[in-house]
Amino acid sequence: MLNRTESNHGMWSSRLMFILAAAGSAVGLGNIWRFPYLAGENGGGVFVLAYLVCIGFIGLPILISEILLGRAGRQSPIGAMVALADSVGVSRRWSVIGWMGALAGFMILSFYGVIAGWAMAYVPSTLSGTFVSISAIEAERSFEAFISDPWQVVGWQSLFMLLTIFIAARGVGRGLETTVRYLMPALFGLLILLLVYSAVTTGEFIAGLTFLFQPDFSRFNTDSLITAMGQAFFTLSLGMGAIMAYGAYMPKGSSIVGTATTIALLDTTVALMSGMVIFPLVFANGLESSAGPGLMFITLPIAFGQMAGGQIFGTLFFVLVTFAAITSSISLLEPAVAWVVEKTKLGRARSAMLVGVIAWALGLGSAFSFNIGSDWTIANGMTFFDTMDYVSNNILLPLGGILIAVFASWRLGQDQLLNEMSEDRAWIPVWRFLTRFLAPAGVLIVFVVTIF
Ligand code: TRP
Quick one: which of 264, 293, 265, 296 has its CA closest to 279?
A: 296
| Ligand 1 atom nearest to 28, measured from its CA | 15
150-169 vs 310-343: helix crossing angle, rounded to 10: 60
* 52-71: pLDDT as tens digits: 999 999 999 999 999 999 99
Distance 330 CA to ligand 1 centre (A): 10
* 265-315: pLDDT as tens digits: 999 999 999 999 999 988 988 888 887 888 899 988 998 998 889 999 999
108, 388 in Cβ contact below 8 A? Answer: yes
CA distance readout (Å), 84 to 38, 69, 334 = 37, 8, 19
**Residue 253, Cβ density class (10 Å: 0-12 exposed, 13-18 middle, ≥19 buried):** exposed
Quick one: which of 326, 328, 163, 179 has its CA closest to 240?
A: 328
**Residue 388, Cβ density class (10 Å: 0-12 exposed, 13-18 middle, ≥19 buried):** buried
Dihedral Cα 78, 326, 283, 203, nearest 10 deg: 120
160, 329 in Cβ contact below 8 A? Answer: yes
Distance 236 CA to ligand 1 centre (A): 6
- pTM score > 0.85 for this model? yes
pLDDT at 380 over 90: no
The ligand 1 site (C-beta within 6 Å) comprises 25-26, 28-31, 108, 234-235, 237, 240, 242, 328, 331-332, 397
DSSP label at residue 214: S
256, 69 in Cβ contact below 8 A? Answer: no
Distance 251 CA to ligand 1 centre (A): 22
| Ligand 1 atom nearest to 35, measured from its CA | 4
* 413-440: pLDDT as tens digits: 889 999 999 999 999 999 999 999 999 9
Distance 179 CA to ligand 1 centre (A): 17
* 104-134: pLDDT as tens digits: 999 999 999 999 999 999 999 999 999 999 9
Q: Give the chain's domains with CATH numbers.
A: 15-451 (1.10.4160)
Q: From CA 73, how far away is CA 95, in angstroms rounded?
A: 12
